[in-house]
Amino acid sequence: MSEDPYVLDRSAWRNLTFACPDADPRRVVDILVLLDMSYTQQVVALDLQQQGLLTNELRRKCDINKNAADTLREGDDIANWQERLSDSEIEKIHLARAFIMNPEVLVLQRPFRHFSEGQGERKRLMEAIRQHITCRGLGMDATTVGRRRPRTVFYTAEQKSEEDAADVIWEINDVDKSISMRLGTASIEAEGKKDGRQPSEAPPEQSRESGPGRQENIAGKPGLLSTTSCFWMPCSKDTENQQINRSQY
């Protein structure tokens, strides 16, 4: 998914579901609420009402996190709904569209760039990414998670906290283009508990890639990188070690 969001010249509902037009309205609204998309929730409610799909349950969900400034009044022209979108709301539409599509592998280029830390938006997005991986899709039936294929997310980080939240961190040396891999902080702590190590202790020797198609085994973790392709993209032009983070259930 590109770092530059794009809103199509169509209704909010069709913007969100153009890749899966038969999406369950309940699941779509749940994703909007999870990302705190107050204004888009109001517009989607009107879209669903026009289609005869707005139930009382959906109406209540669309009013969750409702901001007074986002209230739509009777007679408002929702044909021009895009004109009231903030930069962060546009980025959320971009992300919600991807989560609604629910791919097995999701590659996000700088997804945190448009959000501030002070309002908790970056944390909210990280929680949505983790939930997408853990539940194998946002808003999906929890009782069937074992029958769905795993989800993997690759993303470029803006801050070290976002980097460490990943299960695995890939680093690309900007000089010789070599690729190295290490576990994120959360994975190190989880593995330490299993192996009896303290969270601060380093894990056993990890794998290192030194060129396309060449990969050593991870000591004691033969399946960790199975079926995994290597994706990378620059964090910024002046970053010495370009990094790509991978989270996998």
Separation CA 130–CA 207 (nearest Å):
24
- Residue pLDDT, tens place only, 150-167: 999 999 988 888 888 888
Is residue 194 scored above 80 in pLDDT? no
pTM flag (> 0.85): no
Q: Which residue has the higher pLDDT, 25 or 76?
A: 25
Single-letter amino acid, residue 67? N
Separation CA 130–CA 118 (nearest Å):
20
Mean pLDDT in residue range 182-190: 73
- Which of 81-95, 127-141, 195-209, 232-246 shows the lowest mean pLDDT across its residues? 232-246
As a whole-number percent, the residues of the chain with pLDDT over 90 amount to 48
Domain segments of the chain as ranges = 12-151, 153-248
Record the tokens describing residue 159, joined without a space: 């801050």
pLDDT band at 89 (very low <50, low <70, confident <90, very high): very high
pLDDT of res. 160: 84
pLDDT band at 102 (very low <50, low <70, confident <90, very high): very high
Single-letter amino acid, residue 51? Q
Q: Are 28 and 17 in contact (CB under 8 A)?
A: yes
Q: Which residue has the higher pLDDT, 153 or 195?
A: 153
